[in-house]
A and B are shown apart, each in its own frame.
Chain A
Amino acid sequence: MAERLREGRAWAFGDRIDTDVLAPGSLMKLAPRELAAHCLAAVRPDFADRVRDGDVLVAGEAFGVGSSREQAAVSLKLLGVQAVLAKSFARIFYRNAFNLGLPALRLPADAVIADGDRLAIDYRAGRVDNLTRGTAIAVSPIPANLLAIVEAGGLMAYLKQRGAAQ
């Protein structure tokens, strides 16, 4: 039960990062790991190579807009991304992320996070510490039902736990 995610590096992106940029439609027949190697390549070719376990994706508005394809969130998860922070999310991506155990947190409009900043996230408290800048950013806390799903490790794991408890 992680109250606090590990400290990680911020990878900053702009508005409207779509599902085709996260998981290109033309490559959907690839195995998940191979597909993940192309994640965000259209806007940042070196991302998949350089991202490290525990890093954090930071973006602007309408993150994950486009198709319902879950591979967009799967790819981030496989690359070790711990959480996605964005000003707003497309609804289906937002749900998919939690269902796969990837927390998605909404940033206030005035949040300042630059590429390469070190972040520590306490998603229970709804707080992101920008260690590089010495600032604390309040994010909307995760609703209780989503917290339960993400802490179980995703929706499938959550349903299995619930099934076992019954």
Chain B
Amino acid sequence: MAAGRTLAEKIIARAAGRPGVRAGEIATCAVDLAFAHDSSGPRRWKPLLEELGLSLWDPAKVVLASDHYVPAVDADSAAILKLTRDFARDQGVARFFDMQGIAHTLLPQNGLLKPGMFVAGGDSHSPHGGAFGCFIAGYGATDMAAIVATGETWVLVPETDRVVWSGAFQDGVVAKDVMLMLCRALGMDNAFKVIEYAGPTIDAMAMDERMTLTNMSAELGYDTGLIAPDETTLAHIRAHGGAVEDDALSWRSDDDADFAATYHFDASKLSPQVAAPHSPANADSVRAHAGVKIDQAYIGACVGAKLEDLRMAARVLQGRKVAAGVRLLVAPASTHIAAQAAKEGVLETLMSAGAHLMPSGCGACAGMGAGLLAAGETCISTTNRNFKGRMGHNESDVWLASPYTVAASAVAGVIVDPREMLGAAARDAA
């Protein structure tokens, strides 16, 4: 009895031009879109392409964004940005987004991701875009150079773990809490598998929240994260200028597909989570760590500074002030998101509360931009990794949490359960 196929198997089979593939096989796939940023892209590709005597296989299928070193803080970062710009011009990359935000954010913002696509990214958080039902994984520099030179790559067809969520979240519990909890529950050693999110709770989520799930699939170690497309997905693509094909909704796992494992979770039982230093797997309920004193609160990154994330922070900060002795930094994931937040009054709320507006880019998340930490300092952050030294000094501490929890902690000056403030906000409004 042949079982049905998983979404990952279907996409890989299409990209490989084969009638069907099964987990465990190796397939050579044609790449529909390849992207990279200023740190992983041109500066690494250029010497390798020269060594091969090749140029880009198809500049129209390559997307570049400058996000890690922007804006330049010294001559070295300025030189990397110049090299990136020169490369994009010389190689004819029309879709080069210079200082417009984080690469992962810019792909869906420009309607470039569609269900069924096979996408290769020069960054470990490439799974971000898997929320659109495409197979999108991260690759190292040599792999990426070969991909942009030849337009193809090999893939070991992964098994799929399926995570099914039902029930409604309590107010103040969001996708970020789901992922921190899963880092603890599933661990970080899930290579050569993909994770697929499904169930009524996921169906009810906005795309910004779904992208948090697929983004942090990287922390779990999966090749990528996938969510089958639905009307919410298609509406987002159309609203961002993308064309949707008639068969777009057919990109989903068959009901009788062979999943490696299926896990069921009840959303109503989840509480706000934090991950203690220095691993996302150190997740626990916020209440278990309430009272930890913070020096900085950071709302930024591909995973944590989407428009929905900024709205969450504004909901907490409305009519409140950041605690004395705490600095709150907000780096919207793209300039477009910053403009939208300005239009909605979200930025005004954040800045009236005392937040500092930072450039749209990776900033402190990559440990390269402004907003880094000194030895002995503690930061609570909406980012996705808290490895030792990632946001500054090796002896600094980073806690990971949702935008609600980060904003509430900025107000309290210590780690706090945001439901307390959200409850108060609801009562005040009544």
Contact = CB atoms under 8 A, between A and B. Distances in A.
A99 B40 contact: no
A156 B51 CA distance: 8
B146 A155 contact: yes
Interface in A50-100: 61-62, 65-70, 73, 88-92, 94-96, 99-100
A92 B140 contact: yes
B324 interface: no
A117 B77 CA distance: 45
A94 B154 CA distance: 13
A156 to B, nearest CB: 6
Interface string A1-31: 0000000000000001010100011100100
B201 interface: no
A103 interface: no
A96 B51 CA distance: 18
B149 A70 contact: no
Interface in A115-166: 143-145, 154-156, 159-160, 163
A20 B388 contact: yes
B142 A155 contact: yes
Given A66-B387, A159-B146, A29 B76 contact: yes
Contacts of A92: 124, 138-140
Nearest to A67: B124
B216 to A, nearest CB: 14
Of the listed residues B26, B76, B122, B142, the one surrounded by the most CB atoms of chain A closer than 10 A to its CB is B142
B171 interface: no
Interface size, A (range): 35 or more
B159 interface: no
B400 to A, nearest CB: 15
Given A29-B76, A155-B146, A159-B149, A95 B139 contact: yes
Given A25-B389, A89-B191, A70 B140 contact: yes
B150 interface: yes
B139 A143 contact: no
A62 B140 contact: no
B395 to A, nearest CB: 12
B23 interface: no
Contact of A68 (B40, B150, B389): B40
A26 B191 contact: no
Contact of B52 (A67, A95, A160): A160
A157 to B, nearest CB: 9
B26 A88 contact: no
5 contacts: A16-B189, A88-B191, A94-B191, A144-B26, A156-B51
Given A25-B389, A156-B142, A163-B52, 15 more contacts: A16-B188, A16-B189, A62-B221, A66-B124, A92-B124, A92-B138, A92-B139, A92-B140, A95-B143, A99-B142, A144-B26, A145-B26, A156-B145, A160-B52, A163-B54
10 closest cross-chain pairs (CB), A and B: A62-B189, A96-B140, A99-B142, A91-B191, A70-B140, A68-B124, A70-B141, A68-B140, A61-B189, A68-B138
